[in-house]
Every structure is written in structure tokens, then in C-alpha cells.
Structure 1
Amino acid sequence: MTSYKELLQQQQALAVQIEEARKRELADAIARVRAEVAEYGLTPDDIFSGRKSAKRAAGAKVAPKYRNPLTGQTWTGRGKAPKWIEGKDRSQFAIA
């Protein structure tokens, strides 16, 4: 049976091997990506521009534009208008 100290040594040796393999594979991945970017003449906007719009579409919060002075309730101006602003001049409820 393997002793506790031997197992700890094996664990340390494996940790070193894991880190070396990670660095090697990461370097390979970076080289492949750089080759593809160079081949197609891609820019960072080509690669990452879709990420911002997807994040926005995923339900990002919108700042409120209107506030009910009586209750403090707010509304962003999107969707169906709440009853307290419905049919009224919205400029009087606008948040400055």
C-alpha cells in the first residue's frame, strides 16, 4: 500500500505535469487561432462584436425614464405604460 507521503509526492508531480500540459496546449491553441486570424484577415471586432449584442439581448437592465411623484414608482418607457402615466403628458413625469 502507498503511504500518505508518497501520495502527496505523486500529487505534486502530477500538478507539475498538468501545468506543463496546460501551457503546451494553450500555446498550440493560440498559434492555431493566430494562423486563422492571419489567414482570413480578421479583426478583434470580427471576433468579439457579436458578444456585446448578445449580452444586450439577454435582458440587460434599462434605466427608468419616468417616475410617479406620488409613489416613487418608475417606468423605463418600454412596454405597456403603467396606469399612473397612461394618457397623461409624460414630460411631467420625466426623470431629469
Structure 2
Amino acid sequence: MTNIQELLAQKAALEKQIAEAQRAARADAIAKVKSLMAEYGLTAADLAGRAPTAPKAEGTKKVAAKYRDPATNQTWTGRGLKPKWLQAALAEGKSLSDFAI
């Protein structure tokens, strides 16, 4: 009958063999993937599954500015967050119509 020490040694040897077999299988898989990439002209981005970016749809137009800071000529379209220059002016008591273009 084998004792615990012998069984643990066998277990360690098997785990080492498993790790080596996994490394060899991984190296083979990487070599196969590299050869297929070279054969078909693929890149890492192709493998990541990212679709190529589509060009912008025609007909989209830039929104014209609706408000302008007379001191700095900075503009704002009226969309999104108010810029800091406009927030500061509104806090001083000016109205939005003071900056309309």
C-alpha cells in the first residue's frame, strides 16, 4: 500500500505533465493562428471582432451657433451643457438673449 507522500509525489508529477502538455498545445495553437493570419492577411484588429468604422452618413450637417460671447467670440449651439463663459455671465445677471447671434 502506498503512503501519502508517494501519492503526493505522483500528483505533483502529473500536474507538471499536465502543465507541459497545456503549454505545448497552446504553442501549437498560436503557431496555427499565426500561419492562418499570414495566409489570409489578417490583423489583430480583425480577430478582435471590431467592425470597420462606417463613414458618416451623408446629409448630417453641423449645427450653427446660436450664442456668442462678445468678449472672446466663443460660441455655443444651444445644445448640450452650457459653456462656462455663459454660465458665468448668467450668474452675473445677464440673460441668454444678450448672447443671441
TM-score by length of 1: 0.50
TM-score by length of 2: 0.48
